[in-house]
Amino acid sequence: MLGQVMEVTSAAPKTTKLFLNEALLPIKLNYSIKELKSETNDSIYVQSKLEYQDSEGSWDTLEVKIRARGNFRRANCYYAPVKMKIKKAEANGTLFKGNKELKLVFPCLTEKAGNDNVIEEYMAYKIFEQLSPYHFKTRLFDAEFIEERGRKQKVHQIKGFFIEDISRIAKRFECNRLKRSVHPLQQDGHCSTRNAFFQFMIGNTDFSTGHQHNEKLLFVDKKTVPVPYDFDMSGLVNASYSTVSQIGGETLPITSVRERLYRGFKRDMQVYDDVRAEFLSKKEQIMATVDTLQPYFENSNNFDMARSYIEDFFKLLANDSKFKLEVVTAARIK
């Protein structure tokens, strides 16, 4: 099924230049966090500049507009995540050509594990790349962030990553983005189940495919396909501020984000078997993806914990009795 969809869309536009290279991109940012949080909303942006270092080591500057995004992180984090707009004329001829809108992910708090939490969330995006062609492209960056504090400035060295806009994925596959709600059981069975397995893998319950909470929907070849994002509340990241999500007021039977809970819906056994086989066949390349990120961790223990967490998922997946108990039997019916 997936192969058929990919054949139909094989002539889709290429990935933009920013996301063709996985090397850590040095950037510089300069703005007031206080102003960003208090003076911006979904429609109001503030002017800023983005400096980045090109492949030859020279620095280039772009005029951009930014706003704070993300309800929880905006209210609770020191570094609010950012949505950035770049005019087409400004981006043309630069590394950012083709990206009119981007999301920027930063650490939440000024704590030692902050940068490692960013790498762990980035890891989740890179894992999903191995599982589905319908994913958000990401690019890791190393930022010198100059925070304006009235007459004073404070310099922060933080890691983060860019996320492409959903419109880029739609263009890449010559498909449409769906803005209405679509129940998971009305979505493509294999794609929806693949997404549920992935969320189970990273220990994430902070999503709803039906209500598009931390999910976008694409309509591809007459099929509805979920595209997940925002994984900071997952067990893989295990951030200090993370809590078990209660979407729609539903209380879940777990007390820690490190506990896995399958949130997919009941499917025919053949669908489970197909997706299970997919994941097991990709274990080596997924673990290789995890290992490529080891050099970016500041604390080796955080990398070891993240790697073990993914390994534990594959052990569960390979165990028939555990798979039946924690996935097949645990699947939702409503």
Question: What is the reported pLDDT for 6?
Answer: 36
**Residue that has been written with the tokens 């449409």 in this structure:** 176
Tokens, residue 212: 């598009």
pLDDT at 246: 79
Tell me the C-alpha distance between 66 and 102, whole Å: 10
126, 228 Cβ separation under 8 angstroms: no
Contact predicate 231/124, CB 8 Å: yes
Beta bridge partners of 213: 208
Distances, alpha carbon 243 to alpha carbons 59, 179, 204, in Å: 40, 27, 10
CA 231, 235, 239: angle at the middle one, nearest 5?
75
- Helical pair 114-131 and 189-202, crossing angle rounded to 10 deg: 150
HSE-CB of 264 using CA atoms within 13 angstroms? 29
pLDDT for the residue numbered 4: 35
At a CB cut-off of 8 Å and minimum separation 6, what does 317 contact? 276, 279, 280, 323
Which distant-in-sequence residues (6+ apart) come within 8 Å of 259 by Cβ? 203, 235
In this structure, the dihedral spanned by the alpha carbons of residues 304, 309, 313 and 316, taken in order and rounded to 10 degrees, is: 90
What's the CA gap between 118 and 296, in Å, rounded? 10
Q: What does the pLDDT read at residue 7? A: 34
| Lateral strand order in the sheet of 176-178 | 176-178, 215-220, 223-228
Q: For every one of its 334 residues, what pLDDT tens digit does the chain have, with 9 covering 90 and above?
A: 333 333 333 444 589 999 999 999 999 999 999 999 999 999 999 999 999 999 899 999 999 999 999 888 888 999 999 999 999 999 999 999 999 999 999 999 999 999 999 999 999 999 999 999 999 999 999 999 999 999 999 999 999 999 999 999 999 999 999 999 999 999 999 999 999 999 999 999 999 987 889 999 999 999 999 999 999 999 999 999 999 987 777 889 999 999 999 999 999 999 999 999 999 999 999 999 999 999 999 999 999 999 999 999 999 999 999 999 999 999 999 8
Closest CA to 176 of 115, 129, 134: 134
Q: What is the pLDDT of residue 296?
A: 98
β-strands 25-31, 138-149 pairing? parallel
The residue to which tokens 């294999």 are assigned: 190
**Could you give the CA distance from residue 121 to residue 140 in angstroms, rounded to a whole number?**
11
Please tell me whether the overall predicted TM-score, pTM, comes out greater than 0.85 for this model: yes
